[in-house]
Structure 1
Amino acid sequence: MRKVHIFEAKSGDVLAVDIYGPNGAVLLAKGVKLTDSYIRGLRENGIRHIYIHDIFTFDIEEKPTISPVVRQQAVKKVYETMTELIEEQKAVQRVSSLDLGQEYQKIFKEILDYLLSRENLLINLSDLVISKGYFFHHSVNVATIAGVIGLAKGYSSQQLLDLGVGALLFDIGMTQIPSALWAKKGPLSPEERRIISHHTEFGFELLKKQNNISPSSAYCALQHHERFDGSGYPHKAAGKYIHEFARIIAIADVFDALTSPRDHRQQHSPHEAAEYLCAAGNTLFDYELIKTFLKYVAIYPLGTNIVLNTGYRGVVSNIFPEYPLRPVVRILQNPNGETLKSPFEIDLRKEVNVTIVEAF
């Protein structure tokens, strides 16, 4: 598979990665041949890049961080919970009658079991989601990233569950904000930002009413927009006064947001998002947690387009957790931009003088 911009997609291209809708259902499955109508629909639904198979990359297969089945079940539950709360006029009062704790512990256990079954914990979030589904899939991505960091830190089973539940529900307060605001495509006014900022407190109030959700999980909702230097909200907490779970979720939240297509923001590559986090270490984010996170993220995911310092172009065909910056690159074009009749691969772990100068 290889990544292409949606405007480069052509009728007849074969989709290499599933595309999901808001509730977790597959809208277009990998293996489908694209038509002009499909491509037009994907553009209209906010899809900016897709993964396709061609004769040079058909054997490069995605390695999802969590299985499609687990993802679909988790997104479906988040979708049901959030839409019910959005639609229910008396949601804050009614939420106490729900049992979110047990339901979301079960969901996160499935995510955790899948993570533990993998050979490595490498985070490779290549799932494609239409724009209306971002809110729901984002929570599952954040929980997946948080779970990897929690495992890397050696958290106990109970700590992992509390972190996971908090991560799945960290943005639940957004259901109490007018949907026109958080779905707005253009820039927000200062007053609109002030209104949206209250979602952290709304979320905390919703979660602390639950008998089976720990205070640690509730603090994920309250503090995920606090920043390490005290510049965040709602209380301008700083450093160790921000719960560690919330510091983890802040990193996961920003990384997934930066690498996802958004109507109001440029989509960044994983290596660009990683550079941003590093630059903000111990100012906006906990640098020790960032270092832990970066050990487990695929900086150059499979199918990423690469330009080398030699001028050759290709796609990432294999990645190694212990060498995140040195993948195997399948060379498809020479420095003149001509497509090679016989592509070849370069293992950057062995070619120390060859470096990646661009990735997209």
Structure 2
Amino acid sequence: MKRIHITEAETGNKLGLHIYGHTGKVLLAKGTRLTGPYISSLRKKGVEYIFIETRSTHGINPKPLISPTVRQQAVKKVYETMTSFLDKKSLLQTSSSQDLGKEYQKVFKEILDHLLANDNIMVNLSDLVLAQGHFFHHSVNVATLAGVIGIAKGYNSEQLLDLGVGALLFDIGMTQVPSRLWEKQGFMTKEERNIMNSHTVLGFELLRKQRNISLLSAHCALQHHERFDGSGYPRQLKGTNIHEYARIVAIADVYAALTSSRNYRKRHSPQEAAEFLSAAGNILFDHSIIKDFLAYIAIFPVSSRVVLNTGYEAVVAKNYSDLPLRPVVRVIKDPKGDELKSPHELDLRKEINITIVKAV
């Protein structure tokens, strides 16, 4: 399959990956033939890119970090939890009727099992989510990325669970902020910004009252907007005064946000997001954690299209963690833009004179 912009979609295209709604349910299933109304609806709902099956890219399939079933279950749980806390009165409770700690440990264990079973972890966030539904999927993406970093750092099972639970619930304080501020576009007043920023403290207060959620997990909510140079909030902490779990979640949060669609902006490419994080090392974020994380980033994700220095267009077929800029590509178009009758693959680790000049 290959990734195309929604403006390139045509009636009859066969969808290569599921498209999810905000609660985790599949709205358009893999294998669906696109129609004019489907394409129009996806554009209106903020979907920028889709994956389609084509003859020339048969057999090229992006491998998600977690299975669609695990993703659906995790998003559903986050959705149920977030909506249950929308009432501000819940802050007055000493704890909820749910045992959130046990429930979220179970959710993250499923995610962790998939990550640990992968012998070649490469971050390739290919799941298709409507822009309006990003909030709940985002938490699952952040937890998955945090898990990748935790594994890279050699965390034990207890540390991974504390990190994962904190990452899944890091934004729970947003349920205590007026929903009109969540997606507000443009300028916020000082009062609105202060209300928005309070979600870190409110999230911490919620989590520290829950059963079987550690204070370290709760600190992911409290400190994920602190910045390495002290420019963050709520306490302007610096460097290692910010707990390492929160430093990890901050990086996962920003990377997942940059590479996802929003109603108010287009998504950034993995390369652009990686460059942003690299430039922000030891300024906004912990450089050592960024270094660990970027070793697992697929700069050119499987199924993405690229242009080679020869002028040919290709689709990325396989990545290598030790050489992220030198994937295997399948050449599908000539320099004039015409489809090749016989697409062929090139291993850029061996074809040293051929380079990728841009992503399409």
Normalised TM-score (structure 2): 0.97
Provide runs of 4+ in structure 1 moved above 4 Å: none
Deviation at 1:242, TM superposition (A): 0.5
Question: Which residue of 2 is the match for residue 342 of structure 1?
Answer: 342
Deviation at 1:44, TM superposition (A): 1.4
Q: How does 1:254-265 map to 2 (within 5 A)?
A: 254-265=254-265
Q: How does 1:61-80 map to 2 (within 5 A)?
A: 61-80=61-80
Deviation at 1:184, TM superposition (A): 2.4
SS at match of 1:96: coil
Indicate conservation of the 8 Å contact 1:186/1:263, yes or no.
no
Indicate conservation of the 8 Å contact 1:18/1:128, yes or no.
yes
Question: Is 2:209 aligned against 1:209?
Answer: yes
Q: Report the residue type matching 1:264 in the other structure.
A: Y
Deviation at 1:133, TM superposition (A): 1.4
Q: Report the residue type matching 2:132 in the other structure.
A: K
Return 5+ residue gaps in structure 1 as ranges: none
Q: Separation in 1 of the partners of 2:306 and 2:245?
A: 35
Question: Is 2:239 aligned against 1:231?
Answer: no
Deviation at 1:313, TM superposition (A): 1.1
Q: Report the residue type matching 2:28 in the other structure.
A: L
SS at match of 1:272: helix
Deviation at 1:191, TM superposition (A): 3.5
Question: Which residue of 1 is the match for residue 143 of structure 2?
Answer: 143
Deviation at 1:6, TM superposition (A): 0.7
Q: Separation in 2 of the partners of 1:102 and 1:93?
A: 22
SS at match of 1:240: helix
In structure 2, do the counterparts of structure 1 residues 331 and 215 end up closer, same or farther at CA, with 3 Å as the change threshold?
A: same
Question: Is 2:273 aligned against 1:273?
Answer: yes
Indicate conservation of the 8 Å contact 1:177/1:199, yes or no.
yes
Indicate conservation of the 8 Å contact 2:333/2:340, yes or no.
yes
Question: Which residue of 2 is the match for residue 42 of structure 1?
Answer: 42
Q: Separation in 1 of the partners of 2:41 and 2:193?
A: 31
Q: Separation in 1 of the partners of 2:188 and 2:145?
A: 28
Question: Which residue of 1 is the match for residue 89 of structure 2?
Answer: 90
Question: Which residue of 2 is the match for residue 15 of structure 1?
Answer: 15
SS at match of 2:4: strand
Question: Which residue of 2 is the match for residue 329 of structure 1?
Answer: 329
* Aligned-CA RMSD value: 1.3
Q: Separation in 1 of the partners of 2:102 and 2:196?
A: 28
Deviation at 1:329, TM superposition (A): 1.2
In structure 2, do the counterparts of structure 1 residues 188 and 123 end up closer, same or farther at CA, with 3 Å as the change threshold?
A: same
Return 5+ residue gaps in structure 2 as ranges: none
SS at match of 1:3: strand
SS at match of 2:292: helix
SS at match of 1:344: strand
Q: How does 1:240-259 map to 2 (within 5 A)?
A: 240-259=240-259
Deviation at 1:331, TM superposition (A): 1.1
Q: Report the residue type matching 2:316 in the other structure.
A: V
Deviation at 1:338, TM superposition (A): 2.4
Deviation at 1:190, TM superposition (A): 4.0
Deviation at 1:163, TM superposition (A): 0.1
SS at match of 1:210: coil
Deviation at 1:90, TM superposition (A): 1.1
* CA distances 1:195-231 after superposition (whole Å, capped 9, x unpaired): 2111101101101112311111010001101111111
Q: Separation in 1 of the partners of 2:122 and 2:312?
A: 27
SS at match of 1:56: helix
Deviation at 1:185, TM superposition (A): 4.0
Q: Separation in 1 of the partners of 2:308 and 2:324?
A: 16
Indicate conservation of the 8 Å contact 2:132/2:262, yes or no.
no
Deviation at 1:354, TM superposition (A): 1.7
Deviation at 1:95, TM superposition (A): 6.6
Deviation at 1:189, TM superposition (A): 4.0
Q: Separation in 2 of the partners of 1:230 and 1:173?
A: 21
Greater shift in the superposed pair: 113-122 or 154-163: 113-122
Greater shift in the superposed pair: 314-323 or 278-287: 314-323
How many residue pairs align between the two structures?
A: 359
Question: Which residue of 1 is the match for residue 152 of structure 2?
Answer: 152
State percent identity of aligned pairs.
Answer: 62
Question: Which residue of 2 is the match for residue 161 of structure 1?
Answer: 161
Q: Report the residue type matching 1:354 in the other structure.
A: I
